[in-house]
Structure 1
Amino acid sequence: MSTPFEKEMKERLEEAKNMTEKDKVYMYNGVLYPIIMCKPENLKAMETFEAREDDIMLAAYPKCGFNWMVGMMRKMSAVDSCVDEKHAPIPSLLEFVNPEKYQSINEAPSPRLLGTHMHPDNIPASLTNKKTKILVVLRNPKDTVVSFFHFTNKNPILPTAESWDKFFADFMSGEVSWGSYFDHALSWEKRMDNPNIMFVTYEDMKENLSEELKQIAKFFNFTLSEEQVNTIAQESTFTAMKESSKHTHGPMCNVIFRKGEVGDWKNHFSEDQSKEMDNRFEKCLGGTKIGARLKYDIYCQ
């Protein structure tokens, strides 16, 4: 039996078949978005979305580990609420929600699991006003652009990249869906000291997932034992998540979950591209708190 996600994606994939590559994205307030998932009316409706203080909000630039984190948050919230995982809240990406569906989200019981890839300046103001806790997932830019490149080419909803070199150039200029990686990072940098926002990195989760999950559980006030956290970590390795996604994401599982590696950029970058990224990172994020959290010298050299 198809899940609601599979059913919706099947409809979206059918829609994509009748579109030209260039028509799959459009500009909204100076940023590119995939029109099939992020219609203009969705983004407009999102502006007036009413957050709650006890919402669980996840945020990440595309291909930084968002879907991996969604899976873990569902497991943690299920254990915390003493319910079967299949009854844990399904995340709603705010920019994917059409105006009609906001009614059901508004009526959903707490805690709601929400998410977004939007630039932090463009997420609903009510999240700040209600002091909703936000978990932000970061990832080094070199692996992010590689993952984004493959995601774009394997996802019919997005325009196929002409080549790796072209996609890299577009990424560096911010001419990709959801805009510039560096603009996102710089905007989150301004919020690093906000007590209602927690930052985790893809790389730290790969290094010590149990420890990261303990900190996340503490942030959201989940009452999980150390044994429960360790069990969730074991069930949430990338391999395990990719396998389980076959039952939740259907044909999209291999699109959303590819390699899950740190350092795959070395198989794609030319020497000049590596230097260009190094220079951009230093110019934009050198000396920043987010720059330090990303451990660029360790993962991108």
Structure 2
Amino acid sequence: MSSEKIGQARTIEGFGEVMGAASQGERPNHRPYEPQTGDTFITSWAKSGTTLMQQMFHQLRTGADGGDMQFDDISRVVPWDDTAYLLDFDMNSEQPAAPRGFKSHREYERLPRRMRYVVTVRDPKETFVSFYRFIDGWHLERGAVSMEEFMPLWMSGGPGGCDYFTHLLSWYDRRREPDSLVMTYRWAVTHKPAAIRALAQLCEIELTPEIEALVMQRTTREFMHEHKDKFDDGMICRVLDEKCGIPAASDSSKVQSSGSSADALPGSVAQAIDALWSERVEPATGHADFASLAAEVDAIHGAG
């Protein structure tokens, strides 16, 4: 039986076949998301800090009870609607604490209105390298697809997502809206106490010094890497193992021991991203590159 399973992909087209195979079969437990007042969407673009913000949010809302690390997968307690059918998951199952939180990679226009939105934005070249490191050796056989060939997959933005530039422009337009907390990923990491306070304020969570200290400690790279099995899409791993024959032990960890640098990007890919920025982002924002845009977004929050 296992010999008939598709296994890791060797091409971009094969990636689509893997995901198609993973979606086969009955889904008796699946129920799609039903909005409730006060829901919070953590909706950064792929590889832009979504997992960090899921963890920050979850530890904040459980902090009064000492925090919670009993989950097997962060996306079980802060679930992801765009993978719920794949996982046969009930999106309306009870969450460990209020407010309810959900993961997404969507732009504002495709999310329910009158909710709360948390977004960290990141240099597109860094997201490319991080996305490639994430998929290479998991869905894709390691080294089978080069970075130069990876562009179509990067542009997809992950399940339910959109391309990087659509997402960035959508949330840039909402950077000062009271229902939206839009930060750069780098600012959220380097000014973490301020990011924690801003998130607590958005979600109307009472923040004590004890809770802040707990959230600070549990969102360090060291702590999350120590517990990386909780941040490695374990539920998706199990489906890919069962449906596709991709071993659950494949490297799917979202928490790397070191960050991704744009220096690893081939010149042709960097030039293609720069061209897209010049075509789509600069005319809409006046910013010639991500560093300029990031400086404006960072200035909204100040020095922390």
What is the TM-score with the length of structure 2 in the denominator? 0.70
Please list, as runs of the form range in 1=range in 2, the aligned pairs for 1:48-197 lying within 5 A after superposition: 49-80=33-64, 82=65, 84-86=67-69, 90-98=77-85, 104-108=90-94, 110-123=98-111, 127-128=112-113, 131-156=114-139, 162-167=145-150, 169-170=151-152, 174=155, 177=158, 178-197=161-180
Structure 1 residue 269 and structure 2 residue 262: aligned? no
Between the aligned partners of 1:84 and 1:278, the Cα distance in structure 2 is 42
Q: Is residue 40–residue 117 contact of structure 2 (8 Å, CA) maintained in 1? A: yes
AA in 1 matched with 2:91: I
User: CA distance change for structure 1 residues 166 and 296 in 2, over 3 Å: closer, same or farther?
Assistant: farther
How far has the Cα of 1:155 moved from its partner? 1.9
Q: What secondary structure, in the 3-state scheme, does the structure 2 residue paired with 1:199 have?
A: strand
Shift, 1:76, TM fit: 0.9
Aligned partners of 1:59 and 1:117 also within 8 Å? yes
- TM-superposed CA distance for 1:219, in Å, is 1.2
- Alpha-carbon distance between aligned partners in 1 of 2:255 and 2:136, rounded to the nearest angstrom: 13
By how many angstroms is 1:161 displaced? 5.6
- Give secondary structure in 2 for the equivalent of 1:164: coil
Distance 1:39 1:192 in 2: 39
Q: Tell me if 1:235 matches 2:218.
A: yes
Shift of 1:16: 5.7
Q: 1:179 Cα deviation (Å)?
A: 4.2
The offset of 1:17, in angstroms, is 2.4
Task: Quickly say closer, same or farther: Cα 1:156–1:238, change in 2 above 3 A.
Answer: same
Change (3 A) 1:35 1:171: closer
1:58–1:175 Cα change, 3 Å: closer
Deviation at 1:188, TM superposition (A): 2.6
Match of 1:9 in 2: none
Q: Cα deviation per residue 1:4-34 (whole Å; 9 max; x = unaligned)?
A: xxxxxxxxxx9662877534327xxxxxx94
Gapped runs of 5+ residues in structure 2? 235-248, 296-304
Contact 2:45 2:157 in 1 (8 A): no
- Provide the rounded CA distance (Å) in 2 between the counterparts of 1:99 and 1:268: 31
Which residue identity is paired with 1:277?
Answer: I
Compare the two structures and name the one with the higher helix fraction.
Answer: 1
Is 1:278 the counterpart of 2:262? The answer is no
Are the structure 2 counterparts of residues 290 and 64 from structure 1 closer, same or farther at C-alpha, using a change threshold of 3 Å?
A: farther
AA aligned to 1:257 is V
| AA partner of residue 137 (structure 1) | T
Contact kept, 8 Å, 1:192 with 1:289, in 2: the verdict is no
**C-alpha distance in 2, partners of 1:15/1:75?**
38
Is the partner of 1:256 in helix, strand or coil? Answer: coil
Length-normalised TM-score, structure 1: 0.71
- C-alpha separation in 1, matches of 2:202 and 2:127: 26
Query: Structure 1 residue 187: deviation in Å?
Result: 2.7
Distance in 2 of aligned mates of 1:276 and 1:237: 33
Query: Partner amino acid for 1:96?
Result: T
**2 CA distance for matches of 1:290 and 1:260?**
32
Q: Does structure 2 retain, via aligned residues, the 8 Å contact 1:213–1:229? A: yes
Task: Confirm whether residue 245 of structure 1 aligns to residue 236 of structure 2.
Answer: no
Contact 2:40–2:102 (Cα < 8 Å) also in 1: yes
**Separation (CA, whole Å) in 2 of partners of 1:66 and 1:246:** 16
Q: Mark the runs of 5 or more structure 1 residues left unpaired by the alignment.
A: 1-13, 27-32
Q: Secondary structure at the match of 1:25?
A: helix
Equivalent position of 1:5 in the other structure: none
Contact 2:43 2:104 in 1 (8 A): yes
Question: Residues 75, 49 of structure 1: CA spacing in aligned structure 2 closer, same or farther, 3 A cutoff?
Answer: closer
Looking at structure 1, the residues matched to 287 and 258 of structure 2 have their Cα atoms a distance apart, in angstroms, of: 21
Whether the aligned pair in 1 keeps the contact of 2:121 and 2:184 (CA below 8 Å) is: yes
Contact 1:55 1:133 (C-alpha < 8 Å) held by counterparts: yes
| Amino acid across the alignment from 1:258 | Q
1:206 is paired with a residue whose SS is: helix
Counterpart of 2:263 in structure 1: which amino acid? K
Matches within 5 A, 1:20-39: 22-25=13-16, 34-35=19-20
Change (3 A) 1:220 1:279: same
Q: Secondary structure at the match of 1:61?
A: coil
1:64 partner SS: coil
Counterpart in the other structure of 2:300: none
Q: What is the aligned length?
A: 266
Contact 1:201 1:294 in 2 (8 A): no
